[in-house]
Chains A and B, each alone.
Chain A
Amino acid sequence: MNGALKFRFRFEKTGRAKYLSHLDLMRTFQRAFIRAGIPVKHTEGFNPHPHISIVLPLQLGMESVCERLDAEIEGACPDMAERLNRVLPEGLRITEAAGQVMKPGEAGFARYAVELQYDGAADTAEKAARLEGFLKSGPIIISKKTKRGLAELDIRPHITDTALEAEAFRIRLTALFSALEPAVNPSDLISALKEREELKPDFAKCTRLEIYNKNKELFR
């Protein structure tokens, strides 16, 4: 079909919306586009569905301020972000509508903020020092599901650019995680921490802060 334009929407997924699964999110956006009166191109074939996709699907339960949704729109359509924001459920908010510069497969890294909660530790300075050591020395081996079954992986080299902040009852960690080959998630790090009595958090909250390409340039 002629006239379809490829757009990349940047959006936030916060608050209650963090519990939406990838499929929930796709369904929600499909309907939001209809409500907003923005014509999304449909796939051809027996059971046509709208051409939308999420660049780097986020794990259920995580928040994000930097999600990317690609959609093909039929014809020009002004004020798309505003129109969508009027009809999106709580916690989903478009912050930018732009063209697609990079291919979805080029997304290579993502920065996350991880809040590790330690209910019993009014002072977490010592824990933070230990955590820093843990992140810098030796391998961090986890079992990861692959197509060929469980495989051992050292995630340490794939978590870089780390920064730590010790607060009462919590440590805030930000780090750059490899998003592709291998895809390492904060949840992998958290499960590794759960294996160590002194670093095991009572709860952990994650927020995705930014997505980059393989050269660590902003994903556009």
Chain B
Amino acid sequence: MDFSQRLERILPEVQKPARYVGGEYGQIIKNKADVDVRFALCFPDIYEIGMSNLGLRILYGVLNSMNGVWCERAFEPWRDMAAKMKEEGIPLYALESGDPIKSFDIIGFSVGYELSYIGMLEMLALAGLPLKSVDRKELTPLVFAGGTCMFNPEPLADFIDLAVIGEGEEADAQVVELYRMAKREGWGKARFLAEAAGIEGVYVPSLYKHKYDSQSGVLSEIIPAAGARKTVAKRIVKDLDSSFFPVETLVPSTEIVHDRTVLELFRGCIRGCRFCQAGYVYRPVRSKKPETLVRQGIEALRHSGYEEISLSSLSTSDYGKLAELCDGLLNWCEPRKASLSLPSLRADNFSMELMKRVQKVRKSGLTFAPEAGSQRLRDVINKNVTEEDILNSCATAFEGGWNAVKLYFMLGLPTETDEDVLAIAALANKVYEAWRKASSNRARGVRITVSASCFVPKPMTPFQWCAQNAMDEFRRKQGLLRQALKNRSIVFNWHSPETSFIEAVLALGDRRLGPALEEVQKSSGGLKAWDEYFDFKAWLSAFEKHGIDPGFYALREKGESETLAWDTLSAGVSKAFLRRQYELALAGKVSPDCAHACLGCGADALAGGFCEAAAEGGVR
């Protein structure tokens, strides 16, 4: 029986087979005779998550726009499918052609969440490829990774041949072109990697030797091979207006998580919240013109048949011409019964007015992220929102008929005391009081959801030196807060400290974690971002087996002069700037946002010394 017949026999036996077959409207099919580079764009989570990722759709479009390159997709299968594939000897295949990705030229992973590292290894295993870079001796297939997690790719250093740091739309294309030349001229893998390391934004882990202090185990030195750069700076797209945007995109036939057209207003953020990795690693701020966005939004809606469009950015309220943009989109959307949604708004009055305008019919929930309960701690993390802002916004919303509010907080932020924890409950109670005063219909009741996650220090942020709270400490604080939230209209959700601990180990880890990751994949399988398959015990026993103390990475405050595992890489923001911000945080001092004062983070150098936030006083 051939591969497709065996596949046909297992598909009726798995849940939601539509996610394993491709064939969607907008998929790209090319004639194999015209193709010399087969590219498998892989996402280490299930179809429904991966297809919701705008970055993946951009790269799919960019790569397929290249002559002779056919980019296809592969996602991590759910457990039932993975088990059937192993049983029947069906290797991981690409959705468009159904061909096994093992025989592709390039396998590129988009990695945006630390817990999906195991999913990436699981996909390589399902493909029938050796997990380790050194065990894949030939040039083909080349395995690389990109995405936000690549600002510290060290835990994956054993497995990937190279990483693309920063935005991939230009760098990935260069990697593909270089590969094409290497294939044509018969280069070996070593020569290719040495040449690839010359592409801006490309990091080849095997070209760097990490040395550790034999006593403390702390990284003492990173030694680049001859010819390798000391620092690899991330890539950015300088002009977003002219950059590729997929107006003709895939429309999944089966339901995915974010099933709508997404417009990206700008990259970067002017706010400088000190815990937020995205806020630092995507600098400098670069926006699209409203006319570009309106045109792309209408074209994308028309082409896809979607009836909802969502505006995406790190802080949508900061987009200077937001009202103009919304008007332009609504003029087209309203007569066609399409809706516009605006996530990531700040808790200010202007935003509330806008919310009222766009949400004419349905009043879904509102979400605010104060992150910390007390003003003192909000100052530490530089979250420049006041209690007054939050309460006023909530009151406006309640007057307007909303009756559900979600409040997001983090526990375990640097310098947090029990007073700060209890301030979360106090704030939630004040929101309840605001509802009592402002609600236009009290009989309907109100639902206030307080979500408390566990803070995970991230590389390339001012908190990269911080120790995470121990799991017991998180549990104690959760208990404290739960007791203080007695009001029945307030629902309390909290995150598992175990998950956040592993997240921190992986985010802050180094290449010594490799054997443990391989162990977890072998003993426990993928889908680690899913509670039911997270399997804390498997992680702990893998660390133990390989002599790794996970607390060394997550729970230890790092010294100011310590070499950090990701020091070879640069997001454009200087380490000195991050350190200064950390010290200001510890002193409880806020910094102005980039629209009000340039603090000299250094990221403007990536755009030839230009920063929109400094030049235009914000996001244009």
Which A residues contact B (CB, under 8 angstroms)?
A: 15-17, 19-21, 23-25, 27-28, 30-35, 42, 46-48, 60-61, 87-91, 119, 203, 205
Is A20 in contact with B254, judged by CB distance below 8 angstroms?
yes
State the main secondary structure of chain B at its contact with A.
Answer: loop
Given A19-B11, A31-B305, CB of A89 within 8 Å of CB of B23: yes
Query: Any chain A CB within 8 A of the CB of B445?
Result: no
CA of A125 to CA of B610, assembled, Å: 80
Question: Please, which residues of chain A bring their CB within 8 A of the CB of B1?
Answer: 119
The listed residue (A31, A60, A88) touching B304 by CB distance below 8 A is A31
Nearest Cβ on chain B to A201's Cβ, whole angstroms: 11
C-alpha spacing A24/B304, complex, angstroms: 15
With the chains together, A23 CA to B11 CA distance in Å? 18
Tell whether B27 is near chain A: CB-to-CB under 8 Å: yes
Q: Do residues B337 and A48 form an inter-chain contact, with CB atoms below 8 A?
A: yes
Beyond the given pairs A16-B21, A89-B27, 7 more chain A to chain B contacts, judged by CB atoms under 8 angstroms and listed by A's residue number, are: A19-B21, A30-B305, A30-B307, A31-B306, A35-B304, A87-B25, A91-B23
7 smallest beta-carbon distances between A and B, as pairs = A31-B305, A16-B23, A34-B305, A90-B23, A35-B305, A89-B25, A19-B17
Q: Cβ of B389 < 8 Å from any Cβ of A?
A: no
Q: What per-residue 1/0 map shows which CB atoms of B4-43 lie under 8 Å from chain A?
A: 0000110110001110111111010000000000000000
A47 to chain B, nearest CB (A): 8
Q: Is the CB of A23 within 8 A of B24?
A: no
Interface string of B531-553 (1 = CB under 8 A from A): 00000000000000000000000
| Shortest CB distance A80–B (Å) | 15
- The answer to whether B18 touches A19 (Cβ under 8 A) is yes
Q: How far is the CB of B46 from chain A (nearest CB, A)?
A: 15
Contact indicator A21/B18 (Cβ below 8 Å) = yes
Which residue of B9, B27, B306 is within 8 Å of A90 (Cβ)? B27
Tell me, rounded to whole Å, the shortest Cβ–Cβ distance linking A115 to chain B.
11
In the complex, chain B residues whose CB is within 8 Å of the CB of A87: 25, 305
The residue on B at minimum CB distance from A119 is B1
> Which residues of chain B have C-beta atoms less than 8 A from A33's C-beta?
305
**CB–CB A61/B11 < 8 A:** yes
| 21 chain-A/chain-B pairs, Cβ below 8 angstroms | A16-B22, A16-B23, A19-B18, A19-B20, A20-B18, A24-B18, A24-B253, A25-B253, A28-B253, A31-B305, A31-B306, A34-B306, A48-B337, A60-B12, A61-B12, A87-B25, A89-B23, A89-B253, A119-B1, A203-B8, A203-B9
Closest residue of chain A to B336 (Cβ to Cβ) is A34
A19→B252 CA distance, assembly (Å):
13
Which residues from A are CB-within-8-Å of B9? Answer: 203
CB pair A24 B254 closer than 8 Å? yes
The docked-state distance in angstroms from the alpha carbon of A42 to that of B306 is 15
Check if B251 is an interface residue, CB within 8 A of chain A.
yes
Minimum CB–CB distance from B209 to chain A (whole Å) comes to 48
Which residues of chain A are within 8 angstroms of B18 by Cβ–Cβ distance? 19-21, 24
* A20 vs B302: C-alpha distance when bound (angstroms): 23
Q: Find chain B residues with CB under 8 A from A20 CB.
A: 18, 253-254
**B361 beta carbon closer than 8 Å to chain A:** yes
Question: Cβ of A32 and Cβ of B254 under 8 Å apart?
Answer: no
B110 to chain A, nearest CB (A): 23
A24 and B255 in contact, given A89-B24, A90-B23 (Cβ under 8 angstroms): yes
Closest B residue to A42 by beta carbon equals: B337
- Decide if B11 touches A27 in the complex (CB within 8 Å): no
Q: How far is the CB of A54 from chain B (nearest CB, A)?
A: 14
Chain B residues, Cβ within 8 Å of A30: 305, 307
Query: Complex: how many Å from CA A205 to CA B12?
Result: 10
B window 537-586: CB within 8 A of A:
none
**Selected contact of A60 from candidates B8, B17, B22, B25, CB within 8 Å:** B17
Q: Which residue of B lies closest to A90 (CB)?
A: B23
Q: How far is the CB of B202 from chain A (nearest CB, A)?
A: 36
- Neighbouring B residues of A91 by C-beta, 8 Å: 23
Residues of chain B within 8 A (CB-CB) of A24 are 18, 253-255
A47 to B363, CA, bound (A): 12
CB B91 to nearest CB in A, in angstroms, measures: 19
The verdict on B303 contacting chain A, using a C-beta distance below 8 Å, is yes
| A61 touching B25 in the complex, CB below 8 Å, given contacts A31-B305, A35-B304, A48-B337 | no
On chain A, the residues within 8 Å of B24 by CB distance are 89-90
Q: Which residue of A lies closest to B1 (CB)?
A: A119
Decide if B255 touches A23 in the complex (CB within 8 Å).
Answer: yes
- Contact partner, A88, options B17, B25, B27, Cβ 8 Å: B25
State the CA gap A25–B24 with chains docked (Å): 12
Which of chain A's residues have a CB closer than 8 A to the CB of B17?
Answer: 19, 60-61
Measured in the bound complex, the distance between the Cα atoms of B580 and A146 in whole Å is 69
* A61 cross-chain contacts in B, Cβ below 8 A: 11-12, 17
Closest-CB distance, A205 to chain B (whole angstroms): 8
Residues of B with C-beta under 8 A to A48: 337
Task: Collect the chain B residues with CB atoms within 8 Å of residue A203's CB.
Answer: 8-9
- Inter-chain CA distance A34–B308, complex, in Å, is 12
The distance in angstroms between the C-alpha atoms of A205 and B9, with both chains bound, is 9
Chain A residues lying within 8 Å of B20, measured Cβ to Cβ, are 19
Residues of chain B from 274 to 322 with CB closer than 8 A to chain A in the complex: 302-307
Q: Which residues of B contact A46 (CB under 8 A)?
A: 361
Whose C-beta in chain A lies nearest to the C-beta of B6?
A203
Name B233-267 residues within 8 Å CB distance of A.
Answer: 251, 253-255
Tell me how far the C-beta of B99 lies from the nearest C-beta in chain A, rounded to whole angstroms.
Answer: 14
**A28–B337 Cα gap in the complex (Å)?**
17
A20 to chain B minimum Cβ distance, whole angstroms, is: 5
Q: Quick one: closest A residue to B250, CB to CB?
A: A89
Q: Contacts A21-B18, A24-B18, A203-B9 given: A35-B254 contact, CB under 8 Å?
A: no
CB distance from A194 to the nearest CB of B (A): 13
Residues of A within 8 A of B362 (CB): 47
Complex Cα gap A17–B22 (Å): 9
Cβ-defined contact, A15 with B253, below 8 A: no
What's the minimum C-beta distance from B562 to chain A, rounded to whole angstroms? 52
Residues of B close to A34: CB separation below 8 A = 305-307
In Å, the complex CA distance between A90 and B307 comes to: 22
| Most chain B Cβ neighbours within 10 Å, of A42, A88, A203 | A203
Smallest CB separation, B97 vs chain A (Å):
12
Distance (whole angstroms) from the CB of A46 to the closest CB of chain B: 7
- Residues of A near B304 (CB, < 8 A) are 31, 35
**Interface contact A35-B11, CB-CB below 8 Å:** no
Contact A32 B25 (CB under 8 A): yes
| Residue pair B303, A27 in contact (C-beta under 8 Å) | no
Please report the C-alpha to C-alpha distance between residue A32 and residue B361 in the assembled complex, in whole angstroms.
25
> Separation in Å of the A92 CB from the closest CB of chain B?
9
- When chains A and B are docked, how far (Å) is the Cα of A25 from the Cα of B23? 13
Distance of A91 Cα from B253 Cα, bound (Å): 12
Let me know if B255 and A27 touch, CB within 8 A: yes
Interface centre among A16, A32, A47 (most CB of B within 10 A): A16
Q: Chain B residue with minimal CB distance to A31? A: B305
> How many angstroms from the CA of A19 to the CA of B254 in the assembled complex?
10
Measured CB to CB, the closest approach of chain B to A48, in angstroms, equals 6
- Checking A16, A23, A31 against B251 with a beta-carbon cut-off of 8 angstroms, the contacting residue is A31
